Amino acid sequence: MDPPYNTEATKNDGNSVANDKENINSNKFIYRDKYSRNGWLNFMNERLRLAKKLLKDDGVIFVSIDDSEQAYLKVLMDEIFGEENFVANLNWVKKHGPGGNTSFNYSIVKNTEYILVYSKNIEKKVFNYNKHNDKDLKKLGYTNKDEYFNERGYYKLTDLHHPSSTGSFQYIESLDYLIEAPDKTKFKIYQNIIKPKSARYTWGYDTYLEGKKLGFIEVLKNNEGFWVAKRKQYEKVKFDPKIKNIVKIDAGQPFENIIDNFYSSEGGSEIKNIFSDKNKFDFPKPSNLIKYITNLASQNKNIRILDFFAGSGTTGHAVLELNKEDGGNRTFTLVTNNENNIGIDVNYERLYRINHGFGTNNESFEWSKKNEPYKANLNVYSMDYIDISPFSNVDTKEIIKELIKVLNDFGVNNLNQENDFDIKELLNSLLSLKPQVKEQRE
């Protein structure tokens, strides 16, 4: 999610608590980029708590933010998701160079924004990893071939031992076992000969034996003439020490917390290519950035994605493109308010255009000259805010009519409209989900 960053407020009045006029009913907030800090945190608090409920057990949430509120959002999210579920604060390099600040002013140009990442349950969350391409593989030393080449690809060698420390790799006698060299002599870890207890093997002896049997061990002499045991890391398979067996993989490495390939200007160009007007929406994210984090989030190509600050609909665009590229079936739900009619004029129109290849009034546009429309199956729903507090003057019949319309929109058609008892029941239970309390204020 990509909420309003509250930049204006922090710039002008430093978010003083005394300015906390909005801390009344966060449901009623219209979009501004200028809440008092308490107001903004209150607004985020409600939405993040709901988002947590909607997440699957192995789900993950990404929240964009800049320096104005990053520290406060981090504390809020620690409280809601638990510090133990904090994954990373991704640093997105949104531009390089001083931008408009070309005059020398003894200041520091801020070229990064952040994306806070929390899992619902860190124990259950498995992220994707960066698969190496052929060039990376060569550079990283995947250049050796053996008799398993057809199934396993090239391999590189890594020490089977690790320097021992007081941390997680403490020296243990049993992890300094004897290994047989090709000349049938037996050797121990050579570092320990030079400096006792300075290294240990990373696999237990049984794991080593199994790994050796399956061809994952090579023993060779180093430059100083000592025998050294090495693990083979292949391109296409790995030896999993937990199950002591071979697992298929694509060699790679974890994603890092720095993103420096997609810049904010690309977001503007995308809007221009779709609407012929760069100013149709301010500060859209580049769809490549959202594609990148969607891919990073999971190897599963059927995940479900929710963005409830959807703005110009970049997330939808990114997911459609990623599915097209990798044959995935990811689905998404975008929610936006309709301030300045952006819900209809920008979000809906953008998705319509890239999906059909022409606008709602049959307009042609730049993007469709170079891209095929996605032709995905998209549903659109409209939502209304109705004040249902006990003291409001809303006609219940009107609400019920609206509710029937909404339910019909969602495919619920079998409600008895003659006798509206069903609906009233449903309405009552919906209302009881969140009792309305009228605040008494002086």
Ligand X SMILES: C[S@@+](CC[C@H](N)C(=O)[O-])C[C@H]1O[C@@H](n2cnc3c(N)ncnc32)[C@H](O)[C@@H]1O
Residues that bind ligand X (CB under 6 A): 2-4, 29, 31, 281, 284-285, 309, 311-312, 314, 336-337, 339, 342
Q: Which is nearer to ligand X, 125 or 285 (CB)?
A: 285
CB of 439 to ligand X, least distance (A): 20
CB of 44 to ligand X, least distance (A): 10
Name the strand (E) or helix (H) holding 12. Answer: helix 7-12
Q: Which is nearer to ligand X, 20 or 33 (CB)?
A: 33
> Is the distance from CB of 215 to CB of 225 less than 8 angstroms?
no
Buried b (16+ CB within 10 A) or exposed e, 366-380: ebbeeeeebeeeeee
Q: Which is nearer to ligand X, 64 or 295 (CB)?
A: 64
CB of 364 to ligand X, least distance (A): 22
Name the strand (E) or helix (H) holding 212. Answer: helix 205-213
Q: Which is nearer to ligand X, 47 or 244 (CB)?
A: 47
Give the three-class secondary structure for 216: coil
CB of 330 to ligand X, least distance (A): 17
How far, in Å, CA of 111 to CA of 94, rounded?
Answer: 6
Q: Which is nearer to ligand X, 199 or 274 (CB)?
A: 274
CB of 23 to ligand X, least distance (A): 15
How far, in Å, CA of 162 to CA of 171, rounded?
Answer: 10
Q: Which residue is nearest to ligand X (CB)?
A: 311
Within 68-153, residue ranges assigned H as helices are 70-81, 134-139, 149-152
CB of 391 to ligand X, least distance (A): 23
Amino acid at 302: N
Contacts of 328 (CB under 8 A, 6+ apart): 301, 302, 322
Q: Which is nearer to ligand X, 29 or 187 (CB)?
A: 29
With 0-12 / 13-18 / 19 or more C-beta atoms within 10 angstroms meaning exposed / middle / buried, residue 82 is middle
Q: Which is nearer to ligand X, 31 or 149 (CB)?
A: 31
Contacts of 281 (CB under 8 A, 6+ apart): 271, 311, 312, 342, 346
CB of 265 to ligand X, least distance (A): 13
